[in-house]
Amino acid sequence: MADLTPILDRIRRAKRRLALAALLPALPIVGALLMPFPDELPFTLLRWGFIALCVLVSAALVSPLLKGPDKHPAIVALHAGTVCWIYVSQSRNHHGGKAGPAVLELGTLDGQRLPVPLDEARTDEFVRLLSEAAPRALVGWTPERELAFIRGPHTLLQG
């Protein structure tokens, strides 16, 4: 298996960025605790119900961040040998036509497309590392490969 350290580092950095967003639902908790409410039962239940909801949302957002980068679905698929297609996709903003960030996608034998965070300056290196880790996978996007993937992902395996 190829050394996927640069890709694992990129996944780790992407998770760090998401950590702040995962903690944002905790901010209303502070407001709910500091906001003066009457001591009547309905208001107390409303306050603690809101706090519980915010805690649950924060926990749901934080729990995937606690997993190591080697548990990322794309890395798991590489280790399982189920990757059949590797390509870089470029999203477009339909209103302004501006190109969005490039995303490295892995197509799997069960028809899933798994995004991998990408350093655009290291695109070629990431594609090479992934193609070494999945030597039977086709590399690159074409309309024919897209159609073949939709019809039957196993048809994209080489050799």
- Give residue 17's pLDDT: 74
**Helix pair 5-23, 41-62: axis angle to 10 deg:** 170
Instruction: Say how far apart CA 91 and CA 83 lie, in whole Å.
Output: 22
The reply to whether 45 and 106 lie within a common domain is no
| CATH at residue 97 | 3.30.720
pLDDT at position 94 is: 65
User: In this predicted structure, what is the pLDDT of residue 92?
Assistant: 67
Query: Which structural domain, as residue segments, surrounds residue 141?
Result: 72-156
Same domain, 35 and 81: no
Residue that terminates a domain, selected from 21, 50, 68: 68
| Average pLDDT, consecutive stretches of 10 residues, N- to C-terminus, the chain (159 residues) | 82 79 78 78 85 85 80 90 92 69 91 89 91 93 94 88
Instruction: Report pLDDT for 125.
Output: 92
Is there a single domain that holds both residue 50 and residue 90?
Answer: no
pLDDT at 53: 87
Do 47 and 63 fall within a single domain? yes
Kindly list the distances between the CA atom of residue 50 and the CA atoms of 20, 31, 146, in Å, as whole numbers in the listed order: 20, 11, 45
9 with 50, same domain: the answer is: yes
| Residues 84 and 46 reside in one and the same domain | no
pTM: 0.71
Write down the pLDDT at residue 106.
Answer: 95
Q: Look at the chain and report how many structural domains it folds into.
A: 2
Same domain, 59 and 80: no
